Amino acid sequence: MTTLLLVAIACYAFGAIYAIAALWQARPPYWFRLALWLMVIGFSVHTASMVVRGWETSRCPLLTYQEVCAFLGWAMAAYFLGAYVWYRSQALAAFAMPMVFLFTFVAWLLPTPGDTAAVLKFYGRTASLLTLHAVLFVFAYAAFAVLFVTALLYLVQERQLKRKQFGSLWFRLPSLDTCDSIGAKALVVGFVLLTLGILTGIIGSRQLNGVYWHGDPLEFLSLATWLIYFCVVHYRLTAGWRGRRAAWLGVIGFAIVVMSLVGIGWFNGFHAIS
């Protein structure tokens, strides 16, 4: 898995470089096509590395901290590629590829521990349910990463618009309406997946330990994340919240997502993994 992951990282790194360079070149199509192919190749190799890891451990490769980071990088790549196919936004890819590279690179840096008793505590008669719980969370976080990127793009463009500062980059960024549309779809997908992830976690915890709530820091962070995105969904539907306020909540929500990811490896409690 390590060698395959390193190849994927190299593809993501050069893809990110070429995608960013394409935003500043006078003739960007060639640069961006190269970046897109590198992204596709990296995603394919990354997929192969996860299949190998799953084959080696005879389980879903999503129980150690290293596996969580690798899976999240893969899920982000999948979501960003899908968003590009739908919206054809080069700027979105240029901002997204560095994030994919970062999470995958962190996964490569981390050690690959064997299955310890602490890891295998999630397995047994609730293995399928708790694995689904973890997968739902990772894909929800990937959707929120897309929302985060579009929120940043929206805020940058809005700032430039207010100051009436239009550089060459301005004309290659997606419109404010496009950013809002991509972010809205990512919000709905992420919120639904996060809600299902929390529900499957509660049910799986009850079956495994006889309790619904352990009260560890990661559970509180997950609840805080859900509440923030619930507010975004609620006010978009009832008060017509769009634009700047929704973008800032998307940024804040993803900050808590990052804290949750850090917490998986550092906080003590039921969800602490190696």
From CA 25, how far away is CA 125, in angstroms rounded?
56
- The pLDDT, as a whole number, for residue 115 is 54
Q: Find tokens 């495994």 and name the residue.
A: 208
Give residue 110's pLDDT.
81
- Residue in this structure with the two tokens 């240029």, named with its chain if needed: 94
Token pair belonging to 208? 């495994």
pLDDT at 213: 67
pLDDT at 47: 95
**How many residues are present in the chain?**
274
80: nearest Cα among 90, 71, 70: 90
The whole-number pLDDT of residue 189 equals 93
3-state helix vs strand vs coil in the chain, percent to 5: 80, 0, 20
- Which CA distances in Å does 54 have to 24, 63, 110, 157, 235? 40, 11, 17, 42, 41
Q: Quick one: how far is CA 93 from the chain centroid?
A: 14
0.85 cut: is pTM over it? no
Tens of each residue's pLDDT in the chain, 274 residues: 578 899 999 999 998 888 887 777 655 567 778 888 999 999 999 999 999 988 887 778 877 778 888 999 999 999 888 888 887 777 777 788 888 999 899 888 887 666 555 555 555 545 677 788 888 999 999 999 988 988 888 887 777 777 666 555 656 677 777 778 888 888 999 999 999 999 988 887 777 666 666 667 777 888 888 998 898 888 777 766 667 777 888 888 888 888 877 766 565 555 555 5
pLDDT of residue 113: 61
Which residues are within 8 A (CB) of 255 and not within 5 positions of it... i.e. 6 or more apart? none
CA distances from 56 to 1, 49, 53, 85, 146 (A): 9, 11, 5, 33, 31
- CA dist 36 and 190 (Å) reads 24
Sequence-distant (≥ 6) Cβ neighbours of residue 145 within 8 angstroms: 76, 79, 96, 99, 254, 257
Distance CA 271, CA 134 (A): 11
Closest CA to 17 of 41, 38, 40: 38
Instruction: Pick the closest to residue 56 from 115, 128, 123 (CA basis).
Output: 115
Distances (CA, A) of 78 to 2, 146, 225: 20, 11, 22
Q: What angle do CA 241, 97, 37 make, to 5 degrees?
A: 125
pLDDT at 169: 60
Instruction: Give the pLDDT score at 136.
Output: 92
- Cβ-contact 70, 100 below 8 angstroms: no
